[in-house]
Amino acid sequence: NRMKQEGKTVIMTTHKLKEVMFASDHISVMRKGKMIATMAKSETSERDLAQLMVGQESVTARTVVREKPLDIPMLVVSGLNAYADQGRKVLDGLHFDVKAGEIVGVAGVSGNGQKELAEVLTGLRSWKDGDIQFDGLSLRNGSIRGAIEQGIAHVPESRMKSGLAGSLGAVDNLLFKTYRSPERSSFGLLRTEKNRNWSQKLVELFDVKTPGIDAPVHHLSGGNQQKLLFAREVDLDPKLMIAVHPTQGLDVGATAGVHDLLEGLRKKGRSVLLISEDLDELLQLSDRIMVMYGGRIVGNMAREEANREYIGMLMAGSEEEDAG
């Protein structure tokens, strides 16, 4: 706005509709390399822009009909403490559970323990004190393979840093967690033709746009990289999906696809721990929302009881509730 007041011209490229409607005077929409429309801000709305962007009904106004979660605790965390590599406490006495068929959202400003929580639950980080029960069994401390074998899937915060190997194709990336299984290998040798057919089916099922299953995945768009990552994790038929900022950097269409995948897991009775800084996403998808601040859970509420202002205050550490 200051640059505009100084007489300068600003061109802003973004897929965030609220950002567009807040800052722009005129808006142009591109889809698949073509300019679809140009209009003054006063002539359009978020819903109209979303339809133009994805070529279908807006995903921003859809209503989700959901059943009540099963009263079966899938994940139970008690008195969990964990420390950063430098010795600083990053998780401080966490107590919470996630039921079967439930999406639990985790809100918080980045750096308040959400990343470390995901790492602990997926075996990437060991914990100091506390207990984690998953599907009635104790979760092994710091065991990545143990988490995978017990049925925990993980979509990490950075898909290209922690989720996918950019120089490899779809086949290798899809095999990362299952190459030891009898379906994927025999006597230590990969079942090449069978694995390629399986990979092609997954690419088609999850609508991953790629030049071919051998094309390096760093050539794919962010949305297609994320769909490939979800294809691998969902194909494991997990009991618990831990998704960290799963729609970060994605356009409206790709975001809707990710949301559908998470809703699909919920409908199958699976559990989802959704870690996100997008309050719209959390309020739309979650059955329950926890708020983290300073490594602690400072709020735990049903979605019907949640509101943006209160969650924002908890995220800023301005007040806390007894999270139980």
- Judge whether 18 and 46 are in contact, CB under 8 Å: yes
Q: Measuring CA to CA, which residue among 229, 100, 103, 89 is closest to residue 159?
A: 229
Band of pLDDT at residue 58, cut at 50, 70 and 90: very low
Check residue 55 and give its pLDDT: 67
Of 18-22, 225-229, 285-289, the least confident: 18-22
State yes or no: pLDDT of 65 exceeds 70. Answer: no
Both tokens of residue 31? 């889809």
**Pick among 3.90.550.10, 3.10.20.30, 3.40.50.300, 3.30.420.40: CATH of 73-315:** 3.40.50.300
Of 28-37, 117-126, 168-177, 277-286, the least confident: 28-37
H or E segment at 37? strand 34-40
Check residue 262 and give its pLDDT: 96
Q: Among all chains, which residue has been given the structure tokens 């979760």?
A: 139
Of residues 264 and 56, more confidence is placed in 264
In single-letter form, the type of residue at position 23 comes to A
Q: Residue 321: how many CB atoms within 10 A of its CB?
A: 13
Band of pLDDT at residue 60, cut at 50, 70 and 90: very low
Average pLDDT, the chain: 90
Mean pLDDT (whole number) for 26-50: 88
Specify burial of residue 77 (Cβ count, 10 A radius: 0-12, 13-18, 19+): buried
Specify burial of residue 312 (Cβ count, 10 A radius: 0-12, 13-18, 19+): middle
State yes or no: pLDDT of 322 exceeds 80. Answer: no
In single-letter form, the type of residue at position 235 comes to D
Partner residues linked to 40 by β-bridges: 26
State yes or no: pLDDT of 280 exceeds 90. Answer: no
Of residues 20 and 200, more confidence is placed in 200
Check residue 104 and give its pLDDT: 97
Task: Say how far apart CA 259 and CA 243 lie, in whole Å.
Answer: 11
- Burial code of 101-117, b = ≥16 C-beta within 10 A, e = fewer? bbbbbbbbeeebbbbbb
- Enumerate residues 6+ apart whose C-beta is below 8 A from 232: 173, 174, 176, 177, 202
- 32-38: long-range pairs with CB below 8 Å, 24+: none
- Where along the chain do its domains lie? 2-54, 73-315
